[in-house]
A = this chain, B = another copy of it.
């Protein structure tokens, strides 16, 4: 039988794995920690859950403090709670990943932190178990993105198909046939062609598209439809 007991001595934190896409590659936002222990080492942005807020609110608060952004796509991923994961205190941390469009918001990073975007594959060594946190968030991002088109959260208002392709290539670390990818995407009804072209990245220029939000929401919401196919490829 189990009794309630006060003051477990356990502290509850959140850490944010902030994924960004700059139009070319997938990045993660890290900060240089400005307090002990491990001061001046790179880490994820985090904070403690306050008595009057839910963990989701904590994560949003932490994200806003660093980036100024609100209403960002965030999702709970795993909890890290090994007794010795931090040296001085018993801290259990709930991880959230966030998806943001780097281009659009690069400027509003808070000056209070030394924050920097790193390519997902080549970031500096991180404190504690923060590397595992990123790995687990990436895994969950892949799982989720395989079933729902959430990666569109990482794109700006208007985007080109080659950009989306690059995004998927970054997330899954693969190479896609852009020609087939493009067709598949168009036939999904998820995107709407605009008149304008992006001429920055090629001579011919690629048409901009915007998200068909009605279809997007429908697909994001259709929780119940997936059926097993068991990754039968190799």
Minimum CB–CB distance for A119 against chain B, Å: 18
Chain A contact residues: helix, strand, loop or mixed: loop
Q: Give the contacting residue for A147; candidates B51, B148, B222, B231; CB below 8 A.
A: B231
Let me know if A145 and B2 touch, CB within 8 A: no
Q: Is A76 an interface residue (CB 8 A)?
A: yes
Q: How far is the CA of A179 from the CA of B213 in the complex (A)?
A: 38
Number of copies of chain A assembled together: 2
> A222-233 toward B: CB 8 Å interface, digit per residue (1/0)?
111111111111
Which residues in B have their C-beta under 8 angstroms from that of A232?
188
Minimum CB–CB distance for A100 against chain B, Å: 20
Let me know if A55 and B92 touch, CB within 8 A: yes
> A95-136 toward B: CB 8 Å interface, digit per residue (1/0)?
000000000000000001000000000000000000000000
Let me know if B12 and A10 touch, CB within 8 A: yes
Let me know if A224 and B173 touch, CB within 8 A: yes
Let me know if B226 and A2 touch, CB within 8 A: no
Q: Is A201 an interface residue (CB 8 A)?
A: no
How many chain A residues touch B (CB < 8 A): the figure is 66
Q: How far is the CA of A226 from the CA of B229 in the complex (A)?
A: 10
With A2-B47, A143-B226 known, 17 other A-B pairs at CB within 8 A are A1-B34, A1-B112, A2-B35, A2-B46, A6-B89, A8-B51, A51-B83, A53-B83, A54-B81, A55-B79, A55-B81, A79-B79, A81-B94, A139-B223, A143-B147, A146-B228, A225-B233
Q: Please name 6 pairs of A and B residues whose Cβ atoms are closer than 8 Å in the assembled complex, sorted by A.
A: A2-B46, A8-B49, A54-B82, A79-B79, A149-B230, A225-B231
